[in-house]
Amino acid sequence: MHAGFSGRTRQTPVSRFSDGELLRLITSEDDKDIRNLFAEARQAREKYYGTGVYFRGLIEFTNYCKNDCYYCGIRRSNAKLDRYRLSPDEILACCRAGDSLGYRTFVLQGGEDPWFSDDRMVEIIAAIRREFPEHAVTLSIGERSRESYEAFFQAGANRYLLRHESASEAHYAKLHPPSMSLAERKRCLWHLKEVGFQVGAGFMVGSPFQTPEHLLEDLRFIEEFQPHMIGIGPFIPQRDTPFGGEKSGSLALTLKMVALARLILPKALIPATTALGTIASDGREQGLKAGANVVMPNLTPTAARKLYALYDNKICTGDAADTCRYCLAGRIASAGFRPEMSRGDAAG
Ligand code: SAH
């Protein structure tokens, strides 16, 4: 239990894995070990979700950001990036386009953009909720006060993605400026849960300075926090950031982390991320085979996509929404899974 939350009741689950076993798997290069790990993860996911893969329509609605994360291409200090924000009407138009393509979850993601004040966000969420009463609305707009989260939830948002990024204090401090802290990130995550959101945590794999011990801490945090969703993707450099010259995280290690996350929280919703599809052409399919069960195709208008430049060479930035929808459905089917367009809440 970490400082500041000792008053809350929650169970600390006892992992089937010891630290030593997790570290052994994280660092293993033994093919048989890895094949077994993926097979077990696939089985765990099949037990709760079968072969279905849930679709979430991603709307990247602003690339303005007041933060300055060292890894992220839309950080405040990136003066080379043209900035955009979609208007509330444009966001609703994306939802309508998504709905007609069959999406039942909309994910509104953006930088931490003060233009989208609590009041504006509440209006947007309420408008989506009015028009699409049955759909899930997911937010991914960073750190806000507990009161803001409450207002978003009251307005009709259901889910919130906020990766913890790194569960090691020391490593977190190497990825973020001193104005940001892991303690604050975690406080936000707990608030989101208390407010009633289905919450997503997660981390990058292979980010600069990351060690196997840090990844172990990430898994232990996942186990403690018990998020409904876990976003895991490789770090990929973006040329106009302080980490622009660093190496990408590896496919093999990212897949192992996906599989371990699945085994630690078998009922979690785990995306095969766009970043995974960026470092290998079949990265997302491999993610599904390692235990992932969600994809997040892009609904952002094509003109804006290139500008949501979290990292270099991001895939699908030239495509239209229907292209992504059908391309992914095809990839999923040929990998032996079944595209599933229903709302897809976490298994109970
Ligand atoms: N502002 C929101 C959304 C951030 S973007 C928030 O703070 O939650 C969504 C995710 O993209 C981040 O959580 C981060 O893990 C990932 N990301 C950012 N830069 C990246 C990079 N260079 N490589 C891989 N993933 C990156």
Q: What is the tens place of the pLDDT at every residue in 14-61?
A: 578 999 999 999 999 999 999 999 999 999 999 999 999 999 999 999
Atom of ligand 1 nearest to the CA of 72: 19
Among the listed residues 258, 240, 253, the one whose alpha carbon sits nearest the alpha carbon of residue 279: 253
In the structure, which protein residues have their CB atom closer than 6 angstroms to any atom of ligand 1?
71-72, 109, 111-112, 140-142, 162-163, 165, 204, 233, 235-236, 238, 275, 310-311
Amino acid at 35: R
CA distance 259 to 88: 38
Burial class (CB in 10 A: 0-12, 13-18, 19+), 320: middle
Q: Which CATH class is domain 17-340?
A: alpha beta
Among 69, 72, 298, 315, the mutation site with the greatest number of ligand 1 atoms within 8 A of its Cβ is 72
pLDDT at 9: 43
Atom of ligand 1 nearest to the CA of 162: 8
Atom of ligand 1 nearest to the CA of 238: 22
Distance 231 CA to ligand 1 centre (A): 10
Amino acid at 75: R
**Confidence band, pLDDT 50/70/90 cuts, at residue 3:** very low
Residue 202 pLDDT > 80: yes
The two three-digit tokens of residue 115, written as one number: 């233009």
Residues 6+ apart with CB under 8 A from 241: 70, 71, 72, 73, 75, 78
CA distance 170 to 46: 36
Amino acid at 91: I
**Confidence band, pLDDT 50/70/90 cuts, at residue 8:** very low
Looking only at the bridges linking them, the beta strands covering 52-55 and 136-140 are unpaired
The two three-digit tokens of residue 310, written as one number: 């979290």
Question: What stretch of H or E contains 222?
Answer: helix 212-225
Mean per-residue pLDDT, 71-97: 98
pLDDT at 5: 41
Q: Whose CA is nearest to atom 11 of ligand 1?
A: 310
pLDDT digits (tens, 9 = 90+) for 243-277: 999 999 999 999 999 999 999 999 999 999 999 99
Among 58, 161, 197, 204, the mutation site with the greatest number of ligand 1 atoms within 8 A of its Cβ is 204
pLDDT digits (tens, 9 = 90+) for 93-106: 999 999 999 999 99
Among 310, 311, 312, 313, the mutation site with the greatest number of ligand 1 atoms within 8 A of its Cβ is 310
The length of the chain is 348
pLDDT digits (tens, 9 = 90+) for 287-325: 999 999 999 999 999 999 999 999 999 999 999 999 999
Distance 212 CA to ligand 1 centre (A): 20
pLDDT digits (tens, 9 = 90+) for 122-173: 999 999 999 999 999 999 999 999 999 999 999 999 999 999 999 999 999 9
pLDDT at 16: 85
Atom of ligand 1 nearest to the CA of 231: 15
CA distance 144 to 280: 34
* Domain boundaries along the sequence of the chain: 17-340
Rounded to two decimals, the pTM is: 0.96
Distance 74 CA to ligand 1 centre (A): 9
Q: Whose CA is nearest to atom 12 of ligand 1?
A: 163
Q: Whose CA is nearest to atom 13 of ligand 1?
A: 163
Burial class (CB in 10 A: 0-12, 13-18, 19+), 176: buried
Distance 99 CA to ligand 1 centre (A): 25
Distance 184 CA to ligand 1 centre (A): 17
Mean per-residue pLDDT, 107-131: 98
pLDDT at 14: 55
Amino acid at 96: R
